[in-house]
Amino acid sequence: MLDNELKLSNLRELKTKAELKSLQAQINPHFLYNSLNSIASLAPIDAEKTQKMAHSLSDLFKYSINRKNENTGTIKEEIEMVKTYLEIEKIRFDKHLQFTIDVDKTLENYKIPLFLIQPLVENAVKHGISKNVDAGKINIKIQKNNDEIFISVNDNGPNFPDGLLSGHGLQTVYDLLRLNYDDKASLNWANTPQKAITITIPTNL
């Protein structure tokens, strides 16, 4: 019985690792498509922006490729990757996209699952900023309260719809939380007092 239980435990661990690698390998094809289209459209009119966008896209892929055997990254590393992503989108949207990032410095070396934050930011761009006529704003905040870390992303786009956000690309985030924290983490969204998606994760497992 002990031998069988050990085998089952090993199989569960292997399955979890395989699921994590599968999640980390996912690159949103729409983001890549839009980025390449933007590079192509900028090339004849703005060589400097074209070069900057191509370098940023390269850095984004480099981050992913260099961590193909890792499951976690520090908050500082993940935020740097998110900034690179937002710089690409800022070139696309120009003055219609503004963003701020506020991270508790004491949390910078804390490790979290790779690509946990980026889908939330991508969601804010795709379903928030892109729908705005006026300037869009995205605010990212990471703070600690007792034994929990709060990662929130808010934007000034249209409100979230009622019910589950099935079309808002959050399944990857759900899966990462489930695989890494079981039921000890949560993901919530609200329209008031401000529109925001918030992840809550424990500092100790």
189 membership: H or E segment, kind and range: strand 186-190
pLDDT at 29 over 90: no
pTM: predicted TM-score of the whole model, two decimal places: 0.82
Number of domains in the chain: 1
What are the tokens at 102? Answer: 């506020």
List the domain range (segments joined by +) for residue 179.
Answer: 2-202
Count CA atoms within 13 Å of residue 91 on its CB side. 27
What's the average model confidence in pLDDT over 90-99?
Answer: 88
What are the tokens at 99? Answer: 């963003």
Q: Write out pLDDT tens, residues 106-141.
A: 999 999 998 899 889 988 988 888 887 678 899 999
Give the domain CATH number at 178. Answer: 3.30.565.10
- Tell me which amino acid residue 47 is: A
What pLDDT is recorded for position 38? 83
pLDDT band per the 50, 70, 90 thresholds, residue 4: low
CA atoms of 2 and 33, how far apart (whole Å): 51
What pLDDT is recorded for position 196? 93
CB–CB of 67/114 below 8 Å?
A: yes
What are the tokens at 89? Answer: 């989108």
What are the tokens at 114? Answer: 């790779």
Alpha-carbon dihedral 47, 128, 100, 36, rounded to 10 degrees: -20
- Most confident segment among 41-45, 141-145, 175-179, 182-186: 141-145
What pLDDT is recorded for position 99? 95
CA atoms of 20 and 194, how far apart (whole Å): 32
pLDDT band per the 50, 70, 90 thresholds, residue 100: very high
What are the tokens at 100? Answer: 């701020």
